Amino acid sequence: MLTIINLPPELFAKFCTFLSPADLLSLSQVCRKFRGYLCAPNSSTTQQIWKESRLQFISKEDMPPPEGMNEEKYVLLLMTERGCQICKKNKECKIYWEFEVRCCKSCFTVNTISKDIIKTKYSQEFLDIIPYRHHVGFFDNEILYWEKQIDLIYSKYCNLPKENLQSWLNDRKHTFNSIMEYSKQRISKDKADTPYVPSLNFWPPISMLEPVELPSLSFIPQFIPIRRNNTSIQSPDEPKRNQFIKSEKKKSTIKFHDNYTSSHMKGKNFKNKFVHRYG
């Protein structure tokens, strides 16, 4: 009985031409047989399946993969919707072609190292074959390397015999030139494919703004009273108000004095009345 598992490789490859890269990735995880069909780096049929899927389903990606990278790895690298390849959490990521990795900003910061830090540890002969990336900072530009890439290449560099070292350096130099040239082409292509959208924060530039003449402030009325010789301008009713306050204070003082006098005379009058009544 013919099932999808028992399909001939020719029919399987024909069916895969109708699948997107995400579907091919899911299909490669079904069983070992499908994984062998879709994850064979040395198979021309496998590479053709991924290439046709890339050209059909990924827009504006007609550039071939960089030298030394197969179509499967190239297509998986272009799938930015899958997010960061390192933390597997952040969906906002970017492809760094110098390092052949897709990651977010935080993972990029953690996994890169500046040339100023390692230039005393490694020889210039070794650093000349390591791909790097120019990072634009606030004050200056710095050259960044991928730390894991340095460790991997440096282990090979140290274990080589002297008679094979120069030929290995020449091969690595050729690979380095190819990677850096491909990175430049990808950067220019991404700039050409990205539509220009002016930023609202910096548009229009200050140089394009016409100078505006501010109006004179002499016409604004002054509501604050002008003080002259530590005195303020009084209203016509101010003397009457002061006279009323003084009279009220005087009345309250007289009333308080009468209450005080009557409270102290109460004991004396009470004693006189008691003597008059009872003798």
The pLDDT score that the predictor gives to residue 146 is 94
Q: What is the mean pLDDT of each run of 10 residues along the chain (279 residues)?
A: 73 87 89 87 89 89 89 91 89 91 93 91 92 77 91 92 91 94 89 64 53 55 51 60 72 63 52 52
Tokens of 275: 């003597």
pTM of the model: 0.63
The model's pLDDT over 247-273, given as tens digits with 9 standing for 90+, comes to 776 777 666 556 655 555 545 455 555
The pLDDT score that the predictor gives to residue 109 is 92
Backbone angles phi, psi at 83, to 5 degrees: 85, -165
